[in-house]
Amino acid sequence: MQVALLVPENEWRSLLSTVSKLEEAHAAALAAAPAPDDILTVPQAAAALGLTPEAVRRARREGRLKGIRRNEKEWGFYRSVIEQFPRRYHRQGQ
């Protein structure tokens, strides 16, 4: 046996407009969300920064560059962190 629910037309239209507003807000939130950040390996991060892989490892150990653990041996770096590194730690020539 199915249950039938009678809803007045004005209330039904109100519910439909509310649902459409929620769908629009959801679509806008998805469009505004940032894309997921890439994870670079040590050699890729070194190439992006113009440093040696050992310099990138040293910067991570000293806390100047935030890294993430990929597995027991390897570290990775978010692309956004790598892009911010030169602006934060390298001064412009005068």
Tens-place pLDDT, residues 6-64: 999 999 999 999 999 999 999 998 888 777 788 999 999 999 999 999 999 999 999 99
For position 94, what pLDDT does the model report?
A: 47
For position 36, what pLDDT does the model report?
A: 77
Rounded to an integer, the average pLDDT of 82-87 is 83
19 or 85: which carries more pLDDT confidence? Answer: 19
Long-range CB contacts (within 8 A, 24+) of 66-75: 68/39, 70/39, 70/41, 74/41, 74/42, 75/42
Q: Calculate the alpha carbon distances from 45 to 2, 10, 77 in Å.
A: 61, 59, 7
Residue 58: how many CB atoms within 10 A of its CB?
Answer: 13
**Could you tell me the pLDDT band of residue 65, with boundaries at 50, 70 and 90?**
very high
